[in-house]
Homo-oligomer: A and B are copies of this chain.
């Protein structure tokens, strides 16, 4: 099975950012994405009862260049005022030409 190295980028954010974030990652070059509903608690000094809430987990398979563009844009736009988590993982994907 021919597999291609790729980056899985994950963004966890408040649900109200769903539309903005999906538009952002497509604009930066992601060819698709998957969204899962999630909840969570973070470390922003807000009481759990207020902060624990409805989040989305947005995932996309991209190449390193697109990953870098998304990471930069998300950091610059959201990190100061929103509880956003972003991380990347190395994956191997079938039919990599569809995503990269």
Give A residues with C-beta under 8 Å from B.
1, 3, 6, 8, 12, 22, 26, 31-43, 55, 57, 61, 68, 71-72, 74-75, 79, 85-95, 98-99
| Chain B residues within 8 Å of A36, by CB | 36-38, 57
Please indicate the chain B residues that have their CB under 8 angstroms from the CB of A87 in the complex.
Answer: 6, 8, 61, 91-94
| Complex A-B, nearest 7 residue pairs according to Cβ-Cβ distance, in ascending order | A31-B43, A32-B42, A34-B40, A87-B93, A87-B91, A1-B71, A86-B94
Whole-angstrom distance between the Cβ of A86 and the nearest chain B Cβ: 5
Majority SS at the chain A contact face: strand
Contact indicator A71/B90 (Cβ below 8 Å): no
Chain B residues, Cβ within 8 Å of A75? 1, 94-95
The CA-CA distance from A89 to B8 in the complex, in Å, is 9
Q: Residue A98 contacts which of B8, B43, B55, B95 (CB distance < 8 angstroms)?
A: B43
